[in-house]
């Protein structure tokens, strides 16, 4: 099996984002024929439809109005980072794990998405859904059942996206962070990556700076045609503090949607829009290219 590589980054101190590669393979790019497999783990920044339709607003209008023009379980008006990473690899976005029983050998050839919105490394207050440990267990079960060949696994990439759900759960339970925390998770993450590289005696664990990708995307010239003009104001905002997508008992919308989502970096109060994620992806593209060399 080829060498394993992890590329990770953090968004401020709240998001830990990792890209795990179990092979370097050929140098494919967007639109090229590839033999890569993408496995996705994490929360709503990576989820493409794993949460049950009965509990998640991501399955309700107006989510998905840009892509695929109907709610698809993504926390955006369109694509999320998972979709753009898959595009970079030249593959289709992997199907959600919840659809596994209806998938066949052809539809799973590009991988599986195990990410569940609202989850974290540990159980969270947001949702009672599979956390990171359980998601990895799902993957391990597929490996043990030989769903993927050793060749597919050796050229696979695992995208692990964790936002602030663990932190918000801690704050809700404890009120504040302990004063004994002297280093931010951003620094601790780099230290662990260094340790893993030391253990493997090779620089196979690499850091991808998602934080600065967000900063770069938000600094795009507002006067440039076609660029984002609304940087921090969500396109879909709830009325009187309600969440995007909510309706009252009579079906009346408790939210408003901006006229042009493509001008907004954020779709709702937490998640980037399709255009916002694209801007982040473009800022990451050079790093992604170098990581696959």
Which residues lie below 8 Å from residue 166, measured CB to CB, with a gap of 6+? Answer: 120, 121, 122, 124
Planar angle of CA 88, 81, 157, nearest 5 degrees: 55
Q: Is 139 helix (H, G, I), strand (E, B) or coil?
A: helix
Q: What is the dihedral of CA 287, 216, 121, 130, to 10 degrees?
A: -90
Q: What sections of 112-258 are H helices per DSSP?
A: 132-144, 150-154, 165-174, 185-200, 210-218
Q: At how many degrees (to 10) do helices 210-218 and 274-291 cross?
A: 130
Q: Determine whether 116 is an active site residue.
A: no
**Helix 274-291 and helix 81-89: axis angle, to 10°?**
40
DSSP code per residue over 16-54: EEEEEES---S---TTS----EEEEEESTTT-SS-S-TT
Is 192 among the catalytic positions? no
Distances (CA, A) of 83 to 49, 54, 146: 12, 24, 25
**Which member of 47, 72, 271, 287 is catalytic?**
271
| CA–CA dist 128, 13 (Å, integer) | 24
Catalytic pick among 47, 166, 268, 274: 268
Nearest Cα to Cα of residue 85 among 287, 270, 262? 287
Instruction: Name the active-site residue from 8, 10, 16, 44.
Output: 44
Buried b (16+ CB within 10 A) or exposed e, 55-82: ebbbbeebbbbbeeeebbbbbbbbbbbb
Q: Confirm whether 44 is a catalytic residue.
A: yes
Contact 128, 10 (CB under 8 A): no
> Which sequence positions are flagged as catalytic?
44, 268, 271
């Amino acid at each position: 099996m080829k060498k394993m590589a992890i590329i990770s980054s953090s968004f401020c101190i709240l998001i830990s984002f990792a890209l795990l590669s179990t092979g370097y393979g050929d140098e494919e790019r967007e639109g090229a024929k590839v033999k890569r497999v993408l496995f996705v783990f994490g929360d709503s920044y990576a989820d493409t439809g794993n949460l049950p339709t009965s509990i998640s607003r991501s399955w309700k209008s107006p989510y998905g109005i840009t892509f695929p023009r109907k709610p698809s379980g993504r926390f955006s008006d369109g694509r999320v980072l998972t979709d753009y990473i898959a595009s970079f690899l030249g593959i289709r976005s992997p199907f959600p794990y919840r659809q596994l029983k209806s998938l066949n050998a052809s539809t799973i050839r590009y991988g599986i998405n195990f990410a569940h919105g609202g989850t974290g490394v540990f159980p969270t207050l947001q949702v009672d859904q599979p956390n990171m440990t359980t998601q990895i267990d799902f993957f391990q079960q597929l490996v043990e059942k030989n769903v993927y060949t050793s060749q597919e696994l050796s050229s696979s990439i695992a995208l692990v996206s964790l936002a602030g759900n663990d932190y918000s759960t801690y704050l809700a339970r404890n009120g504040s962070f302990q004063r004994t925390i002297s280093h931010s998770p951003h620094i601790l993450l780099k230290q662990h990556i260094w340790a893993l590289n030391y253990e493997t005696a090779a620089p196979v664990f690499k850091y991808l700076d998602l934080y600065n990708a967000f900063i770069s995307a938000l600094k795009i010239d507002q006067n440039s045609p076609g660029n984002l003009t609304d940087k921090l104001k969500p396109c879909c905002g709830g009325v009187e503090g309600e969440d995007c997508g909510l309706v009252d008992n009579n079906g009346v919308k408790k939210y408003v949607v901006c006229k042009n989502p493509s001008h907004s970096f954020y779709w709702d109060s937490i998640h980037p829009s399709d255009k916002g994620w694209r801007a982040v992806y473009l800022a990451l593209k050079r790093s992604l290219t170098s990581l696959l060399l």
